[in-house]
Amino acid sequence: MLTREAAWQDQRDLSRLCAEREADTIELFPWNGFYGHAALLKAVTGLAPDRPLCITLPHGVTYRGTPNQAETSADIATAYSYQREYDDALSRSGQRALIRGAAPFTYAPDLVGAVSGPRSGTLYFPSHSTRFSTAEAEYDIIADHLARLPAHFGPTRACCYYLDILRGHHRPFLERGIEVVSAGHQHDPLFLLRLWHLLSSHEHVMSNSHGTHMAYAMYTGCSFTYWSAGNLQCRTDPGYEDWVVYAPPSYSAIFETLFADGARRDDLAARRTALDFIGAARKLPIPLLRHALQSAERREVLRRSSAHR
């Protein structure tokens, strides 16, 4: 798969790494192809890469109190869930099969090996844009703050989403001598493995958002600091207002206590909570995961053949 050396080699040409590419997927549920989720699960279980997974996969941690409607309404017989509070909704109250597991990212070390080699410095994640929204912030102010971090936090790098690199949001970091890196395009099948290598090369992660990267960072052994600098504003395109995530009180309370503004967290309580977001304790042994995915395929074939009789 992707070695640490290759992941860092990719950073030498961000224009190529982040270039637009087509969503060329064979997946029954197209979101499975996002960020290489399906590719990673197939690789780690030895399943054929040219056959779709017959499940719905979450594309990331959802802090809205309910799973994405696309996942709950998909016409597929089996759902995959790693946020336990969403198990019932994803199974449609028991009306479809459910695989209770962990986020595909947790299988990255099974493919590329556990963290090895030196790790140092700080990786900063600016809140990222999407296809239907633009994250706008005072990136020059953020970059100035990062440039003034104490020496023991260095070297400092900014990990930017491909859309924000295409939109030029990374330039203030480069102008202040801060290296910019990226996990690549959302349709890149190596995205998660590249992100694993970037995170596991650092000791600290900072961000102006509580995103999936927070849990991933703590899973790889990094500390995490939420830092609200930069006056973040998200501009949503017309027609996509319902996609804006407003964290319910249950999540807001977690953010305000365990991941409060400016608090560097590297303790057991914060790590346990972050890892629970990605279902780390529910991670299935690889043979059981393979069996579950094969059972989902048989279930889907049977369902579709019955529907056409």
- Mean pLDDT in runs of 10 for the chain (309 residues)? 94 96 91 96 97 95 84 94 94 94 98 86 88 74 92 95 92 95 97 97 93 94 88 66 63 83 91 95 98 97 81
Q: What local confidence, expressed as pLDDT, does residue 66 receive?
A: 84
Q: Fill in the amino acid letter for 163.
A: L
Q: How many Cα neighbours within 13 Å face the side chain of 300? A: 22
CA distance 244 to 267: 31
CA distance 214 to 235: 22
Q: What local confidence, expressed as pLDDT, does residue 56 receive?
A: 97
Domain ranges of the chain: 21-101+284-307, 115-268
Give the CATH number of domain 115-268; options: 3.90.1690, 2.40.160, 2.60.120, 3.40.50: 3.40.50
Residue owning tokens 């953020």? 142
Phi, psi of 265 (to 5 degrees): -110, 125
Q: What local confidence, expressed as pLDDT, does residue 240 receive?
A: 59
**Which pLDDT tens digit goes with each residue over 186-207?**
999 999 999 999 999 999 999 9
Neighbouring C-beta atoms of residue 147, cutoff 10 Å: 13
Dump strand ranges (E) for the chain: 78-81, 97-100, 122-125, 133-136, 156-159, 179-181, 204-207, 223-226, 233-236, 264-265
Q: What local confidence, expressed as pLDDT, does residue 151 receive?
A: 93
**Which pLDDT tens digit goes with each residue over 202-247?**
999 999 888 899 999 999 999 999 988 766 666 676 765 555 555 6
Closest CA to 77 of 243, 293, 308: 293
Q: What local confidence, expressed as pLDDT, does residue 45 receive?
A: 98
